Amino acid sequence: MQVAIFCYFLFLFLGGDAAPAADEVTYLPGLQKQPSFRQFSGYLSVADGKHLHYWFVESQNDPSSDPVVLWLNGGPGCSSLDGLLTEHGPFLIQDDGVTLQYNPYSWNKIANMLYLESPVGVGFSYSDDQKYVTNDTEVSMNNFLALKEFFRLFPEFSKNQLFLTGESYGGIYIPTLAERVMEDASLNLQGVAVGNGMSSYEMNDNSLVYFAYYHGLLGSRLWADLQTFCCSAGKCNFYNNQDQNCSARLSDVQDIVYSSGLNMYNLYAPCIGGVHQRYSIERGELVIRDLGNSFINHPWTRLWNQKLRGLSSLHLSVRLDPPCTNSTPSSLYLNNRYVRAALHISPKALDWVICSSEVNLNYGRLYMDVSKQYLKLLSALKYRVLVYNGDVDMACNFMGDEWFVESLHQQVSQTQSQVCRPLCADLCVPTSVCRPLCLRWRFRGVRGSTMMKTVGRLAASSKSSTTSPSSL
């Protein structure tokens, strides 16, 4: 018994200050040369038998002192490995679905990057009971517990600065997670950053109609009808207007934006795969191309969601494909048995897909606006907050996020005790917020960029400097 107790405490001693050796990725298929930095992949177990898959890549600069940056993709229900393999990870998947190329603008050039597949049911994350109905509150708690578990497994990073980042529906995930993290003194939270995020459903809906009109997508007759039926006293309500004529015209707007062949993530780029309907039956599989985040308060949207749930219950196979995207290379790579083995993927995990239809269709959207969470962060006067947008993305457009930032009524102050710098570089949009702002709070627009590409262009804009997340 004494030997057993000794071995137990020896195990705690040896394993208490180092990363879990079993999770280290020692060989990653698809690379001509294995990386010089360490990386880990495994599971963070949270409440009630839920297991969130993570992929952690150490900084190429100085892992011991560089910040830890959490990244969450949106959806809801889409995998953060899409961010790793196609946006700002150290490796970019090639069209053959086999080869990886190093990314010269990877965020792990200056930070330790933690990619978390959340919620449970997304990507390689799974639940023992295989039940994947969830909501914003449960997800924020599970993400918080996952962070706690991560730092338990990697205690050597617990003193590093922590930043929470994400895009799209990450605009909900990140502030609601930050609200929990800022209450835990053991987590060294320094700030948050959200790109093309869903900050307010109301402002996103209202701004989308203006965005579409002023980009020449809506005809003069439709615009006149929208002004007649949706507006009064100089103010338009495209969000929850109960006028049936208004709702009908907004249905036309949604068809133009989402179902006419336009690329909702990059207005000026072709739509990969051509024009598709919002759903189709392909070889007995129901394919859905709508993440369900726009005009959610209108009757036809509720009927549409009911129809989708009904159709999904009739099909054994349902696939959720964001429009105008090609996830085939990533799917081929991540479902390769050698890759799964290298990443220590559980046999209980499903095949990897970019977005989970089950999670998305059954997701409980509880936060229509996250101003409360942002104001709580800002009132603490110690966290850096960055909201950044590409200007050609329609899913979560720059105008809605700029309105959201302005609605928080944060005074711009420049005192000698605060370090401020101009935001306007070559890539910045010269808007009213493109001026010297204090580092605590800023909105940044990136010209000619999108939800998926803004992160890379931000990295490229600082490639010749030693910019760190703490200076964003």
Half-sphere exposure of 107 (CA within 13 A, CB side): 31
In this prediction, residues 279-308 reach a mean pLDDT of 81
Local structure of residue 344 (DSSP, 8 states): T
Q: What is the per-residue pLDDT across 62-92, written as a single tens digit (0 to 9) for each?
A: 999 999 999 999 999 999 999 999 999 999 9
Query: Whole-prediction pTM value?
Result: 0.87
pLDDT at 316 over 70: no
Specify the long-range contacts of residues 181-185, CB closer than 8 Å, at least 24 apart. Answer: 181/144, 181/147, 182/376, 182/377, 182/380, 182/383, 184/144, 184/148
Q: What is the pLDDT of residue 416?
A: 37
In this prediction, residues 256-269 reach a mean pLDDT of 91
pLDDT at 134 over 90: yes
Domain extent listing, the chain: 21-199+368-471, 202-330+349-361
21-199+368-471 CATH choice from 3.30.300.130, 3.30.540.10, 3.40.50.300, 3.40.50.1820:
3.40.50.1820
CA distance 58 to 90: 10
What's the pLDDT band for 314 if we cut at 50, 70, 90?
A: confident
SS3 per-residue string spanning 357-370: HHHHHCCECCCCEC
pLDDT at 383 over 80: yes
